Amino acid sequence: MSKKPLILISNDDGITSKGIRTLVEVMAEIGEVVVVAPDSPQSGMGHAITIGNTLRLDRSNQFGDLGVEAYQCSGTPADCVKLAKHHVLHDRRPDLVVSGINHGSNTSVSVLYSGTMSAAIEAALEGLPAIGFSLCDYSHDADFSHVRHWVKEITLKALANGIPEGITLNVNFPPHKAGEVKGLKVCRQARARWQEEFDQRKDPAGRSYFWLVGSFVNMETGDSSDSDEWAIANGYVSLVPCTFDLTAYKTMQQIQGWGL
């Protein structure tokens, strides 16, 4: 590359999170970085956008020590990418959009709920190459040191080889406590779901409210060694190419045969 690539960064854990700090530090070694991230945590927002409320965008000195231009946004991760492309960057087109590093797994069906991945998918909708990075560790003080090499390597490969239009790379890392990373596997999304439960509680005024709890259910049977869940469970980085086209093409002909 003859000049430094322009890299846009966002996330869903907020501009002050440890994960985005790690991502900014790595990306600053590669290119010119601009950050537009939520001013507060937006986990689980999926691809929500702000329609009925105002959006605020303010300069931030969160990464001033790195000389990185940064903005904090009152909206969702998808809002951040939209504002970055159409307002902050104006007519400057980023060479890559990266989101994360998320505090927690975004494997399997979690990609649908993830604000981190929705920021990356929004970039793909805007015609920009994008990667979402997640660490499978929900701890506030999670150790990101072992992912730096992989984040940089994947980013450099993506810049050098290109990401097909409309595709977002969903990259998940095993937690540091799992030991040395064995390598990287290009995977499919595992078949799984969340088993939700709603815990009914009482507030100090005696009024009922609900708190969402539950557990992750892996529905894979037989050999699942090509899935992202298997890769993470066995000490590998998982990389799943994702598309925002949700059409079930194989089912189209079947339904056309219904005679509707």
95 belongs to an annotated ligand binding site:
no
12 belongs to an annotated ligand binding site:
yes
Exposed, middle or buried, 10 (CB in 10 Å: 0-12/13-18/19+)? buried
Q: In Å, how far from its chain's centre is CA 91?
A: 25
161 belongs to an annotated ligand binding site:
no
106 belongs to an annotated ligand binding site:
no
CA–CA dist 57, 164 (Å, integer): 31
- The answer to whether the beta carbons of residues 119 and 84 sit under 8 Å apart is no
Q: How far is CA 11 from CA 47, 126, 191, in A?
A: 12, 17, 25
CA–CA dist 163, 169 (Å, integer): 8
Q: In Å, how far from its chain's centre is CA 160?
A: 21
Task: Give the Cβ contact number of residue 255 at 10 Å.
Answer: 9
- The answer to whether the beta carbons of residues 122 and 44 sit under 8 Å apart is no
- Point out the annotated binding site: 12-13, 43, 102
- Point out the annotated binding site for a divalent metal cation: 12-13, 43, 102
